[in-house]
Structure 1
Amino acid sequence: MSAEQLLSTSTKLPSKIPNRKKIIKTVTETQENVGDILANTREEIEKGVEIIVQACRKSGNPNIIGFGGDIEESQDINMKNKYGQTLLILAVWNNNIEIVQLLLSHPEILVNEKDKHGQTALMWAAKYENTSIMKLLLAHNNILVNEKDKYGQTALILAAGHNHTEITQILLNRPEILVNETDNKNNTALIWATSKNNFQLVQLLLNRPEILVNETDRNGFTALIWASEKGYSEITQLLLLNPCLELSVNNQGKKALELAKTPEIKKLILKKIQENQGSFSIFRFLAS
């Protein structure tokens, strides 16, 4: 995106911004990328902070950004608006790759800063399926991939909960990713993926050797119980192939077999029981 295109999305710039006329003249006349003008020195980046803010304001509605007062007096690359959103979070939200690159190049950028909901730029990228930006953020030396928001959600949980398969795969490629983290309702990424009836997403998670397939949410629902009750036959079959699967009961004492929505799913579960009659897990299921 050219600097002129970025500026075309902006509203009126404050008259007190340092070198305002010079910056606008250079940007509009030369058609240079804003990163070429602002990324060279800290001073130039600070002078361009307001341009970055305005470029993120795609709707033209000042309330979407929420910054108050004279922004140029702060000139802080990690400044936050009243919603706790940093410039980096706003750039991610608006899918402005050039602005994200510019901010990430700043030596004082705090890449893991959180908004008022406890969400980082990485979490925003996971929610809104910003694949290219996700890769940029993950390339930063200080990025933390397992941070949680105020709802207990990690970037991986958000990706699974928003049905984003590619983002989930990118996160799973990180060696430090924790695949069994739970949110405040005790949902794991696997439970979320199952609830979305996303076969590929469930398969990706089940391919992880450390996956805990029998984790339960706050209602005692495992991924299998979810799939069975919702009538997701393909995912039910996929879960039943996991050697660690236990046919447990939920908080109401209901089993996946009892909650099965379709005859096909009941048949799949009964077949699994017949195939594993000698296993401890099936014995416990039959005895319960």
Structure 2
Amino acid sequence: MTQDSDPHATPSAAAGRDLYYASRDGDLETVKRILAEGDVDINYRGGSWTPVMEAAVNGHRDVVEFLVSRGADVSLVNSDGNNVLHFACIDGDLETVKLIQSVNVVDVNSRGKYSRTAVIEAARHRHWDVVEFLVDRGADVSLVDGDGENLLHLACRRGHLKTVKLILSMNVVDINARNNDGQTAADIARDWGHQRVVDLLVSRGAH
């Protein structure tokens, strides 16, 4: 319930649904109105998703900010294990990611769907500014997802040379680590036609 709600009142399921859909659609005024009326669970589940999850994955930063300011729990996870940080990284809005991190209740290396961390989701969706921010905040670039791929594999698939250099500079990833298909980062870069990345990896000792 919101801070203004009667602690003895039963949250309205209808109001929860309305809050969920308004958050998904980015309708900030409706979100504000519903919360002002009280008797609503700000963490209402639409399936296994909360309103702030929907706002984050759909890029509604203003709604995320408002919900967080009113006490939305960003540490909750959906049925896949994804939390709000995962969804913000999928959308790629850096300011939303910064906001969620500032609350300091979400483990930056928490695992979500297919064992993906937030930084892996950011890399999969090519949000390199988010990747750099999370790495600076302690994201573990050596962790692998359900496909056996770490951040180096993903950066090589996308051909993002700056991120490849960043990861290599940390000296925590085995440059010849293989994914579940037996491919190294250099194999992936070669298959996707990123010759500059291949050359860099070979110069750093890739087989």
TM-score of the pair, normalised by structure 2 = 0.83
Letter in 1 for 2:51: A
Partner of 1:53: none
Q: Alignment partner for residue 198 of structure 1, among 124, 127, 134?
A: 127
Alignment deviations for residues 7-48 of structure 1 (CA, whole Å, 9 cap, x no partner): xxxxxxxxxxxxxxxxxxxxxxxxxxxxxxxxxx98xxxxxx
Q: Which runs of 5+ in 1 are unaligned?
A: 1-40, 43-75, 274-284
Q: Alignment partner for residue 52 of structure 2, among 105, 122, 130?
A: 122
For the pair 1:213 / 2:141, whether they are aligned, the reply is yes
Distance 1:78 1:204, change over 3 A: farther
For the pair 1:242 / 2:153, whether they are aligned, the reply is no
For the pair 1:79 / 2:13, whether they are aligned, the reply is yes
| Bigger Cα Rg | 1
Q: Give the superposition deviation at 1:77.
A: 5.5
Provide the rounded CA distance (Å) in 2 between the counterparts of 1:103 and 1:164: 25
What is the CA RMSD across the aligned residues, in angstroms? 2.6
Alignment deviations for residues 202-255 of structure 1 (CA, whole Å, 9 cap, x no partner): 11110112x211111111011111121332222222222224333322123321
Q: Which runs of 5+ in 2 are unaligned?
A: none
Alignment deviations for residues 78-111 of structure 1 (CA, whole Å, 9 cap, x no partner): 3249xxx612112212322222223223453211
The number of aligned residues is 198
Partner of 2:152: 224
Partner of 1:269: 201
Alignment deviations for residues 116-156 of structure 1 (CA, whole Å, 9 cap, x no partner): 2x110110110111111111111123x21121112222111
Letter in 1 for 2:195: P
Letter in 1 for 2:21: L
Provide the rounded CA distance (Å) in 2 between the counterparts of 1:93 and 1:252: 37
Q: Alignment partner for residue 26 of structure 2, among 92, 95, 108?
A: 95
Letter in 2 for 1:205: L
Alignment deviations for residues 159-185 of structure 1 (CA, whole Å, 9 cap, x no partner): 111233222122122211221122231
Does the residue aligned with 1:149 lie in a helix, a strand or coil?
coil
Superposition map of 1:1-288 within 5 A: 78-80=12-14, 86-116=17-47, 118-141=48-71, 143-209=72-138, 211-247=139-175, 248-261=177-190, 262-273=194-205
Provide the rounded CA distance (Å) in 1 between the counterparts of 2:127 and 2:25: 26
TM-score of the pair, normalised by structure 1 = 0.62
Q: Is the 8 A contact 2:25 2:55 kept in 1?
A: no
Q: Is the 8 A contact 1:125 1:134 kept in 2?
A: yes
Q: Is the 8 A contact 2:189 2:198 kept in 1?
A: yes
Distance 1:249 1:183, change over 3 A: same
Does the residue aligned with 2:114 lie in a helix, a strand or coil?
coil
